[in-house]
Structure 1
Amino acid sequence: MGNIFANLFKGLFGKKEMRILMVGLDAAGKTTILYKLKLGEIVTTIPTIGFNVETVEYKNISFTVWDVGGQDKIRPLWRHYFQNTQGLIFVVDSNDRERVNEAREELMRMLAEITDKLGLHSLRHRNWYIQATCATSGDGLYEGLDWLSNQLRNQK
């Protein structure tokens, strides 16, 4: 009987889980963002070869964030991380003006692959959000998580 109440309580008030994929060009700030969210501080990072994965607890949601390397040779592997992902964060370093077009091309390539798998009409009905942030100061990061949290709460 205690198990029934425990499971009911967890279902009503327990943490929800959300798997997030974070991608973008190399040196865009993905790992800096991940550890700013996780630890609340800036850590020294090195280029990500492969991925980093961390759990970030925020507003009764457990975000499992997959930070995947952005070097051009690694980008074709991004598609292997799409499965079971509820949210996608595409990081663009807006200060790197020389590579903004490259970031746009990678985003378009990734979306083309997703639309190919889901069907174009499916993406038209998805919610999109652009959040300006600063990885080092943390400005805007929690506003982005607020939006993701609300989207998860509103899922049926």
Structure 2
Amino acid sequence: MGLLSIIRKIKRKEKEMRILMVGLDNSGKTTIVLKINGEDTSVISPTLGFNIKTIQYQKYSLNIWDVGGQKTIRSYWRNYFEQTDGLVWVVDSSDVRRLDDCRAELHNLLKEERLAGSSLLVFANKQDIQGALKPDEIAKVLNLEVMNKDRHWKIVGAAPTPATACSRASTGWSRTSPPASTSSTDLKHPPNSGHFSPYELLFFLVTQP
């Protein structure tokens, strides 16, 4: 067992997890964080630095670091890698022109030694926009399959919906990816239900081996 794995197991016992949320600019990272926290999303400005939100779930404190994605500040992402338990990558599924850039940035990020072993959750966001690629299409474009041997990962479609859409969280998103034929414990597929809980996804993300 590596040192990072030992540290993560200790942190789980302490009930505190650090989640890094990144992605290209305008992918919807801040909106997702605010929705999870039940906050107003009517006025959102580009994140030029970072925001930190803490949510409570099953006696765990999940500290979400929402980091800006503008090209000029991506080189500073490395400043936030320390002690990351889970990585959330947010994709604007409708911004087809920048998907190659999105793939390159993601794979460069995953090469970082300090993120080795961190589970990956990909939000294929903005599924409600006409022309947006489906989660399975995003997975192919991002070449996520190459990580099967060395990293737990999951991709889900996301589009903000009213809070009543999810009964087990203060807010929720419609699950837009196809129903999975495998168990919901398979990180490569979303839960087999009409809607998923962001709380459950984030919790599942940071509690992987």
Which TM-score band (shorter chain)? Answer: 0.7 to 0.9
Corresponding residue for 1:80? 79
Letter in 2 for 1:105: A
Higher relative helix content: 1
Q: TM-score, normalised by structure 1?
A: 0.75
Higher relative strand content: 2
Corresponding residue for 1:100? 99
1:92·1:103 contact (CA, 8 Å) conserved in 2?
yes
Distance 1:132 1:18, change over 3 A: same
Question: What is the SS of the residue equivalent to 1:49?
Answer: coil
1:150 and 2:204 correspond: yes
1:50 and 2:49 correspond: yes
Instruction: Give the CA deviation at 1:99.
Output: 1.2
Greater relative CO (CA pairs within 8 A, separation 6+): 1
Q: Aligned runs of 1:3-152 on 2, under 5 Å?
A: 16-39=15-38, 41-114=40-113, 118=116, 124-134=149-159, 136-137=160-161, 138-139=172-173, 140=175, 142-152=196-206
Instruction: Give the CA deviation at 1:43.
Output: 3.6
Question: What is the SS of the residue equivalent to 2:83?
Answer: coil
| Distance in 1 separating the partners of 2:83 and 2:148 | 16
Identity of paired residues, percent? 42
Unaligned segments of structure 2, at least 5 residues: 1-12, 118-146, 162-171, 176-194
Q: TM-score, normalised by structure 2?
A: 0.57
Corresponding residue for 1:9? none
In the TM superposition, what whole-angstrom CA distance separates every residue of 1:94-132 from its partner, at most 9, and x where no partner exists? 0111111111111011112348x859xx99433111121
Letter in 2 for 1:44: V
| Distance in 2 separating the partners of 1:19 and 1:30 | 16
Unaligned segments of structure 1, at least 5 residues: 1-13
Q: CA RMSD in A?
A: 2.8
Instruction: Give the CA deviation at 1:68.
Output: 0.3
| Distance in 2 separating the partners of 1:143 and 1:130 | 14
| Distance in 2 separating the partners of 1:97 and 1:153 | 32
Aligned length: 138
| Distance in 1 separating the partners of 2:76 and 2:208 | 30
2:152·2:208 contact (CA, 8 Å) conserved in 1?
no
2:49·2:68 contact (CA, 8 Å) conserved in 1?
yes
Larger Rg: 1
Letter in 2 for 1:126: R
Letter in 1 for 2:54: T
Instruction: Give the CA deviation at 1:56.
Output: 1.6
| Distance in 1 separating the partners of 2:116 and 2:26 | 30
